[in-house]
Every structure is written in structure tokens, then in C-alpha cells.
Amino acid sequence: MKKLLIFSLCLSLGKAYAQDPHYSQFFANPLTLNPALTGSGEADGRLSANFRNTWIGSASPFSTGLLGFDKAVLQNKLQSVDKLGVGGFAMYDQSNGGALKSTALALSFAYLKGLNEAGTSSLSVGFQASYANKRLDYSKLSFEDQFGSGGFNEGIPSGDAGLSNSRSYADFNVGMAYHFKKEKLKATVGATLNHLFAPTDYMWDNLSRKRRVTIHTGGQYELSPEGSIEWNAIYQTKGKASELAFGGAYGIKMNAQDPDAIQLWLGGYYRVDDALYPYLAVDYKNVRAGLSYDVTVSSMKAAASSRRSIEFSVLIGFAKKKVEEKPAAE
């Protein structure tokens, strides 16, 4: 019975939001946030990883993981302030104790055009193509026609188990972003259109994934050599569903005289009518590791009192190798 109820919840959530993987630290996943951010990092290359467990403590948590990489290429063949970004990611999502599993592989491309010679203002456009697969393991589920006077009997064949257990589809996303950086301030604002051609991915009917529009912004401002603030916000809408989340953090350097010193970030975010989540992160050189913990504040608070959602992210920047100039021959 528990399996059936949890699986039904998975389907209801999926039809409301088409089961798009959901991250509290949306700002730590540049390639899933907006394809226009591909190759836009300050380092030459960037590795991103994220793992999220939702409803920990339940017998059947929702788990999502991602590993991505992007970098700027052909910079020596473009104008000094322009960039061509390429990248990709692999992602998995599972629920109901692994009964429903989704995987996706994506490739992203973006072109960043400098709007002035100093490169303080730029505009980027991006395109992303992905191949996704959704698989259902009927052996881990219980269905209505397996219920008898003695309860559920999984040994009884179910008519539902004869349905398709796998569905694959291609998906496409497009986006654009404006970037600004000057002295102590850097900021980005962008928009994304996901599921451009509304692909079909359900196993029981031909419902299609509705297009999702995302608007996001984020930035950082250096208050002093010792401290900085950063902020991020996102608004998503899809069909009749929408979501707004925003927040920020304060970062303090352990040693303001050392550019490679550890910087500790402490803050929090609010997902409107859903959850508050404190955020803790550590920067060391070109690495940031972040941790967040969702605290439900919506009407589901009582039902979710024993559930916990935790998320861990890592961003690693790879700087260009410096080439030493050889002295000119006499």
C-alpha cells in the first residue's frame, strides 16, 4: 500500500511539474539553469557536481545527481572579449526506492559577445540538446488489482505491469543572459525556455512535457577585502504551476591578505510557500563546496515533519595554463 501511495504521489507531482529535476542550489548548476551560461565562468573550464536527496527518512526518497563540465574554446581566434562555450552534463533522477528512474545526457553551446572593449558588459545566447530515458521497474510496485482480503499480494499478476516500462525522448532548451562586471560588482540576469518542442515522456498516455520558462538573476559585491555578499533569485512557470525562490549569503575571508585564502559563506534562501533552506559554502582557490538543508514551511509541514531534504554541490574552476615567454634570440 505504501509503495502504491508514494508512486501515486510521484505521478501527481510529475503531471504538475513534469518531473523536472529540482534543485535548491539552482545557482550551482549553470548548465541546467541556462544554456547561455555555458563557458561563462571566470576560469577557462568548470566542473560542476550536485547531489540531492528529498524526503530522507522515508522508505522511498527522491534522489537526483548531476555531473557537468563546460569551458570556453577558440578564444585565441575570437575577439578578446568574446567567448564560445561548449559543455555537457549527465544527470539521473530516481524515486520510489528506485522503481522510477530517469537519466539524461546533454550537450550545451553558447556564444558570449562583448558589448564594449573592456568586456565589462556582455550578452550570451545558448542552445542545449539532450537525450533522456525514463524506466519503470514494475517488480518494485504494488497495484490496485493485487489487493485482496489479506492485503496486497505482489505474487498476483497485475494488468498494469504489462504496460511499457521504458520511454526515451530528445529534448531542447534555449536561453540568453546579460553579464555585467566592474571593479567590485558582478551580476547576471537571464531567461531560459525549456522543452522547446514539448516532447512526450509519459508511459501511460501521450501527455507532453509543457514548456517551462525560467527567469533568473544573481551577483556578488565585494564590501571590503574581508567580506562580500552574493544574491540569487529564480522564477519558473510551467502550465498552471509557478515557483519563486530567492536569497543570498555573506562571505568572509579567513585571511584578507592572501588571495587564495579560504572564504566561508553563510546565508539562506526562501522558496515561496514551500521551504526555507540555510546555505553554507566554502571557497578555496578555484573550488566551492556548498550545502543546503530544506525546512518545510508550507501546508505540508505536518506531513513532512519526518522528511528532510539535503543538497550538496561542488563547482571547480580550471584556470588557463600560463605560458612563460621565451627571451628573444640575439
CA distance 171 to 29: 18
C-alpha cell at 103: 537519466
When the pLDDT of each residue in the chain is averaged and rounded to a whole number, the result is: 81
What global pTM score does this model have? 0.81
Domains and CATH numbers, the chain: 2-148+166-247 (2.40.160)
pLDDT digits (tens, 9 = 90+) for 198-237: 877 655 555 556 889 999 999 999 999 899 999 999 999 9
Largest Cα separation within the chain, whole Å, is 97
Instruction: Identify whether the C-beta of residue 291 lies closer than 8 Å to the C-beta of residue 281.
Output: yes
> Nearest-5° angle of CA 101, CA 170, CA 70?
85
pLDDT digits (tens, 9 = 90+) for 145-180: 555 555 555 555 555 554 557 788 899 999 999 999
Residues sharing a CB contact under 8 Å with residue 70, sequence separation 6 or more, in sequence order: 30, 31, 38, 39, 41, 45, 46, 48, 85, 86, 87, 88, 108
Residues sharing a CB contact under 8 Å with residue 12, sequence separation 6 or more, in sequence order: none
